[in-house]
Chains A and B, each alone.
Chain A
Amino acid sequence: MTELNSTKQTPSLFQHGTLTHHQRWRLIKDNVAGKGVIIGGLSVIVAIVLIFFYLLYVVFPLFGSAEAEHVSEYKVPEIESGKTLLLAMEEQNEVAVRFTDQAKAIFFQVETGKTISIESLVIPEGVSISSFSQGSPATGIIAYGLSDGRAIIAKHAYKISYPNDKRLITPVIEYPLGKDALVIDTEGNALEEVTVKIDEELTTIAAKTQGNRIVLNSYSKEESLFGDDNLEQTTSVLDSIGMDVKYLLVEKEQRLMYLASNDGHLSVYSIRDKSKPELIQHLSVTEKGSQITSLSFLNAEISLLIGDSNGLVSQWTIVRDAKNQQVMQNLRSFKVSDSAVIAIDAEQRRKGFIVADEKGQVGIYHSTAERELIKEKVSQSKPYFLTQSPRANAFLLQTNDNKLIFWNVHNEHPDVSFDSIWKEVWYESYPKPDYIWQSSSASNDFEPKMSLTPLVFGTLKAAFYAMMVAVPLAIMGAIYTAYFMAPAMRSYVKPSIELMEALPTVILGFLAGLWLAPFVEANLVGVFSLFMLVPIGVMIFAYCWQLLPKSIRHRVANGWDAALLIPVIIISAWFAFAISPMIESVFFAGDMRVWMNDSFGIGYDQRNSLVVGLAMGFAVIPTIFSITEDAIFSVPKNLTVGSLALGATPWQTMTRVVLLTASPGIFSAVMIGFGRAVGETMIVLMATGNTPVMDLSMFQGMRTLSANIAVEMPESEVDSTHYRVLFLAALVLFLFTFVFNTLAEVIRQNLREKYSSL
Chain B
Amino acid sequence: MMIKEWFKSGSPWVWLNAAAVSTSIILVVGLLLLVAVRGLGHFWPADVIEYNYIEGDKKSVVVGELVDTSVMSAKMAKESGYKLKDNADTLVQHLIKTGNRDISGMDFRWIQQQNIQSESHPDEMVAIERREWGNFYGRLVSVKENGKVIATGEAAWPVVQQRIEQALEIFEEIEYLQKKEIGAINHQLERLRLKQKSLELKGEWSTEAQESQSLKKAELDKEYKGYEEQLDVLYKQIRRDSLVAKESTGTELEIPLESVVHVIRPNSMNVFTKILQYFVKFGEFVSEDPREANTEGGIFPAIFGTVMMVMLMAVIVTPFGVIAAVYLREYAKQGFTTRLIRIAVNNLAGVPSIVYGVFGLGFFVYILGGNIDELFFPESAPAPVFGTPGLLWASLTLALLTLPVVIVSTEEGLSRVPKSIREGSLALGATKVETLWRTVLPMASPAMMTGLILAVARAAGEVAPLMLVGVVKLAPTLPLDGNFPFLHLDRKFMHLGFHIYDVGFQSPNVEAARPLVYATSLLLVMVIIGLNMFAISIRNNLREKFRALEGM
Q: A497, A562, A625 — which one has the most chain B CB atoms within 10 A of its CB?
A: A562
**B463 at interface, CB cutoff 8 A:** yes
Complex Cα distance, B404 from A738, in Å, reads 14
A660 CB-CB contact with B under 8 Å: no
CB proximity of A575 to chain B, nearest CB, Å: 15
Docked-complex contact B429 and A11, CB < 8 angstroms: yes
Contact B10 A652 (CB under 8 A): yes
Q: Would A681 and B403 count as touching, CB distance under 8 A?
A: no
Asked if A651 and B28 make an inter-chain contact with CB atoms under 8 angstroms apart, the answer reads no
Chain A nearest CB: distance from B520 CB in Å? 9
Q: Are B431 and A30 in contact (CB under 8 A)?
A: yes
* Residue among B9, B28, B34, B366 with the highest chain A CB neighbour number at 10 A: B28
Q: Please encode chain A, from 513 to 524, with 1 for each CB lying within 8 Å of some chain B CB and 0 for all others.
A: 111000000000
Taking the closest CB of chain B, its distance from the CB of A89, in whole angstroms, is: 28
Stretch binding the partner chain, chosen from B146-154, B248-256, B272-280, B454-462: B454-462
Min CB gap B493→A, angstroms: 16
A659, chain B: closest CB distance, angstroms? 11
A503 CA / B463 CA spacing, docked (Å): 12
Query: In angstroms, how far is the closest chain B Cβ from the Cβ of A494?
Result: 10
With A472-B20, A746-B343 given, is the CB distance from A507 to B35 under 8 Å? yes
Task: Report whether B528 and A672 are in contact in the complex, using a CB–CB cutoff of 8 Å.
Answer: no
B residues in contact with A499, CB < 8 Å:
28, 529, 532
| A77 close to B (CB within 8 Å) | no
A504 and B462 contact, CB distance less than 8 A = yes
Q: Which residues of B contact A547 (CB under 8 A)?
A: 1
Asked if B332 is at the interface of the complex by the 8 Å CB criterion, the answer is yes
Q: Quick check: B354 and A480 within 8 Å, CB to CB?
A: no
Interface residue ranges of A561-611 to B (CB < 8 Å): 561-563, 565-566, 568-570, 581, 585, 590-591, 594
- A148, CB-defined interface residue at 8 Å: no
CB of A169 closer than 8 Å to a CB of B? no
Instruction: Tell me if B467 and A569 are in contact (CB < 8 A).
Output: no
| Complex alpha-carbon distance, A327 and B256, angstroms | 68
Are A7 and B461 CB-contacts (below 8 A) given A510-B517, A625-B24?
no
Question: In the complex, which residues of chain B have a beta carbon less than 8 angstroms from the beta carbon of A534?
Answer: 19, 23
Q: Is the CB of B12 within 8 A of A542?
A: yes
Q: What's the least CB distance linking A739 to chain B, in Å?
A: 9
Known: A472-B20, A651-B10. A679 touches B433 (CB 8 A): no
Find out whether the CB atom of B354 lies under 8 angstroms from the CB atom of A710.
Answer: yes
B486 in the interface (beta carbon within 8 A): no
Closest A residue to B427 by beta carbon equals A11
Chain B residues contacting A504 (CB-CB under 8 Å) are 460-463, 497, 524-525, 528
Q: Mark B28-40, 1 if CB is under 8 A from A, else 0.
A: 1001001100000
> Which one of B35, B320, B423, B510 contacts A44 once the chains associate, using CB atoms below 8 Å?
B320
On chain A, the residues within 8 Å of B332 by CB distance are 38, 41
Query: What's the Cα separation between A639 and B436 when bound, in Å?
Result: 41
On whether the beta carbons of A54 and B464 are closer than 8 Å, the reply is no
Give Cα A54–Cα B432 distance, bound, in whole angstroms. 36
Tell me which residues across on chain A come within 8 A of B25, comparing CB atoms: 493, 496-497, 562, 566
Rounded to whole angstroms, the CA-CA distance of A500 and B457 in the bound complex is 12
Kindly identify which residue among A51, A513, A706, A738 contacts B359, using a CB–CB cutoff of 8 Å.
A51
A4-29, CB < 8 A from B: 4, 6-7, 10-11, 13, 26-27, 29
Cβ-defined partner of A480 (8 Å) among B14, B344, B353: B14
- Report the Cα distance A654→B10, complex, angstroms: 10
**B460 neighbours in A (Cβ, 8 Å):** 504
- For the complex formed, measure the closest distance between the CB of A693 and the CB atoms of chain B, giving whole angstroms: 20
CA gap between A36 and B13 in the complex, in Å: 57
Min Cβ gap A364→B in Å is 28
Report if A334 contacts B (CB, 8 A).
no
B269 interface hit (Cβ, 8 Å) = no
Q: How far is the CA of A718 from the CA of B387 in the complex (A)?
A: 12
B49-57, B73-81, B206-214: which lies at the interface: B73-81
B294 close to chain A: CB less than 8 A = no
- State the CA gap A742–B344 with chains docked (Å): 8
How far is the CB of B424 from the nearest CB of chain A, in Å?
A: 12
In the assembled complex, the Cα of A621 lies from the Cα of B25 at a distance in Å of 11
The complex places the Cα of A5 from the Cα of B268 at a distance, in Å, of 78
Contact with B along A621-648 (1 / 0, CB 8 A): 1000100000000000000000000000
**Is residue B104 within 8 Å, beta carbon to beta carbon, of the partner chain?**
no
Assuming the contacts A27-B431, A497-B25, A741-B347, asked whether A514 and B15 have C-beta atoms less than 8 A apart, the reply is: no
Look across to chain B and name the residue whose beta carbon is closest to the beta carbon of A4: B334
Taking the nearest CB of chain A, how far is it from the CB of B9, in angstroms? 6
CB pair A480 B11 closer than 8 Å: no
Segment with Cβ contacts to A, from B158-166, B228-236, B322-330:
B322-330
Smallest beta-carbon distance B361→chain A, Å: 7
Question: Which listed residue, A7, A535, A672, A718, touches B16 by the CB 8 Å rule?
Answer: A535
- A562 with B22, Cβ < 8 A, contacts A45-B341, A713-B361 known: yes
**Which residues from chain A contact B3 at a C-beta distance below 8 Å?**
543
The residue in A513, A568, A709, A718 that gathers the most chain B C-beta atoms within 10 A of its C-beta is A709
Q: Tell whether A181 is near chain B: CB-to-CB under 8 Å.
A: no
- Knowing A37-B323, A714-B468, say if A581 contacts B358 (CB, 8 Å): no
| Contact in complex: B426, A7 (CB < 8 Å) | yes
Q: State the Cβ distance, B347 to closest chain A Cβ, in Å.
A: 4
Taking a contact as CB atoms under 8 Å apart, the answer to whether B497 and A506 are in contact is yes
B514, A546: Cβ atoms closer than 8 Å: no
Of B328, B358, B458, which one neighbours A709 at CB under 8 angstroms? B358
Q: Which residues of chain A are within 8 angstroms of B197 by Cβ–Cβ distance?
A: none
Structural contact, A539 and B12, CB atoms closer than 8 A:
yes
Q: Which residues of B contact A45 (CB under 8 A)?
A: 324, 341, 344-345
Supplied contacts A679-B353, A681-B354, A710-B354, 10 more A-B pairs, CB within 8 Å: A33-B437, A477-B23, A496-B25, A507-B497, A510-B501, A618-B31, A679-B354, A680-B352, A681-B464, A726-B358
Nearest first, the 5 closest Cβ-Cβ pairs linking A and B are A41-B327, A651-B10, A679-B352, A504-B461, A476-B20
Give A residues with C-beta under 8 Å from B: 1, 3-4, 6-7, 10-11, 13, 26-27, 29-30, 33-34, 36-38, 40-42, 44-45, 47-51, 54-55, 58, 472-477, 479-481, 484-485, 493, 495-497, 499-500, 502-507, 509-511, 513-515, 534-535, 538-539, 541-543, 546-547, 561-563, 565-566, 568-570, 581, 585, 590-591, 594, 618, 621, 625, 649-652, 654-655, 672, 675-676, 678-682, 685-686, 706, 709-710, 713-714, 718, 726-727, 730, 733-734, 737-738, 740-742, 745-746, 749
A-B contact pairs, 13 of them (CB 8 A): A37-B330, A38-B331, A55-B362, A499-B28, A504-B461, A514-B510, A515-B34, A562-B22, A565-B19, A590-B76, A650-B10, A679-B350, A726-B358
Binding site for A on B (CB under 8 A): 1, 3, 6, 9-28, 31, 34-35, 73, 75-76, 79, 319-321, 323-324, 326-328, 330-334, 339, 341, 343-348, 350-359, 361-363, 366, 400, 403, 407, 419, 422-423, 426, 429-437, 454, 457-458, 460-464, 467-468, 497-498, 500-501, 504-505, 510, 514, 517, 521, 524-525, 528-529, 532, 536
